[in-house]
A = this chain, B = another copy of it.
């Protein structure tokens, strides 16, 4: 196995010219945040969190921030993907305006991917842009959604359809916050970690096969490595293609099928990472049927997905024409062009590509892969 390359012993750096920033990965980072020079200066801070995370970590963050900002406000959102909509986003704008927050107010997103996506979009849009810091408290957010500047809310007709590319000034991954993560969400985070193997680094996939039990037991050394390596790969990809003109789309491996499951089941029924888990198996199966990978590769991925506690099979979205419903939902995917679905496929282990596939073959895969 090749040695892993670390950009920095402490931080992973996202290189994006004047929008570059650090991802800090470590234990008990929340407490030390106020003394950290990387935290942006401002006239006030607004902590955006949700009703689950607020009682666990809200006061720990607020106490730290009070040492750095003249005032610290908190807005607590309802928890869950089904609330990732305009109404909930507007709670953040209401709070900012009611408190008279100006352009130098720093937003802190304390929570999982939903909180990060909404706080990020609010930061991008409030007065046309205020600084923000991601403090992800779920494994999924630490390895994926809080890194790379994608922010968005859902529309009833499609996931993440309304948003902005907007980079945080800092990402703080405190591994201690993973102690309280429900096991189902731990598995959902592992889906986004597993993803980095097939698309970019089969050595990392081997490491995951060796250390899956440690990760499930929340061994902090194993978690630190998995988070760091995931962020490194994501940093490398995003650094080359910030606005998803090309390469960056490979990070959506498993997401085209996964988003269809999430939207088709109603947001919140399946966790995002669960959709990605089953979606990766479907995308790998499609890659295999297109002759890009052998069946041993698909089998190996399925074992890892299953060991992570993730669903292996997609949901049935329509009893009468399940494949038709998947295709309908996938045609509004953001990667689609003129109604043609663009799939992220595995073009040989450790290498991804983006391409179309014949509807008939996609239907075969859906029929074969849904429960």
**What is the 8 Å Cβ interface bit string for chain A, positions 122-138, against chain B (1 contact, 0 not)?**
00111111000000000
The interface-forming segment of A149-157, A200-208, A222-230 is A149-157
Indicate whether A332 reaches chain B with its CB closer than 8 angstroms: yes
**What is the 8 Å Cβ interface bit string for chain A, positions 90-101, against chain B (1 contact, 0 not)?**
100110011010
Known pairs A93-B161, A126-B162, A152-B128; A331 contacts B86 (CB<8 A): no
The one of B100, B334, B338 that contacts A43, using a Cβ cutoff of 8 Å: B338
> Which single residue of chain B is at the shortest CB-CB distance from A70?
B338
A93 vs B128: C-alpha distance when bound (angstroms) = 19
A129 vs B150: C-alpha distance when bound (angstroms) = 11
The one of B103, B150, B332 that contacts A100, using a Cβ cutoff of 8 Å: B332
Instruction: List residues of chain B with CB within 8 A of the CB of A164.
Output: 124-125, 128-129, 164
Instruction: List residues of chain B with CB within 8 A of the CB of A155.
Output: 93, 97
Highest count of chain B CB atoms <10 Å: which of A97, A103, A128, A150: A128
**Are B165 and A128 touching (Cβ within 8 A)?**
yes
**What is the 8 Å Cβ interface bit string for chain A, positions 305-338, against chain B (1 contact, 0 not)?**
0000000000000000000000000011010111
A90 vs B155: C-alpha distance when bound (angstroms) = 9
> Which single residue of chain B is at the shortest CB-CB distance from A164?
B128
**Are A125 and B337 touching (Cβ within 8 A)?**
no
Indicate whether A273 reaches chain B with its CB closer than 8 angstroms: no
**Are A93 and B162 touching (Cβ within 8 A)?**
yes
**Are A332 and B129 touching (Cβ within 8 A)?**
no
Instruction: List residues of chain B with CB within 8 A of the CB of A197.
Output: none
Instruction: List residues of chain B with CB within 8 A of the CB of A331.
Output: 100
A172 CB to closest chain B CB, in angstroms? 24
A336 vs B127: C-alpha distance when bound (angstroms) = 11
A163 vs B164: C-alpha distance when bound (angstroms) = 11
**Are A337 and B163 touching (Cβ within 8 A)?**
no
Indicate whether A243 reaches chain B with its CB closer than 8 angstroms: yes
A97 vs B337: C-alpha distance when bound (angstroms) = 13
Instruction: List residues of chain B with CB within 8 A of the CB of A339.
Output: 100, 102
A296 CB to closest chain B CB, in angstroms? 36
**Are B98 and A157 touching (Cβ within 8 A)?**
yes
**Are A86 and B97 touching (Cβ within 8 A)?**
no
A102 vs B340: C-alpha distance when bound (angstroms) = 10
| Chain A contact residues, CB within 8 Å of chain B | 43, 70, 86, 90, 93-94, 97-98, 100, 102-104, 124-129, 150-152, 155, 157-158, 161-165, 243-244, 331-332, 334, 336-339
Leading 8 A-B pairs by shortest Cβ distance: A97-B157, A43-B338, A127-B334, A125-B162, A128-B163, A128-B165, A102-B337, A102-B336
Q: Knowing that A86-B86, A102-B336 are A-B contacts, what are 8 other residue pairs whose CB atoms are under 8 Å apart, sorted by A's residue number?
A: A43-B338, A70-B338, A97-B155, A98-B157, A124-B164, A128-B163, A128-B165, A128-B334
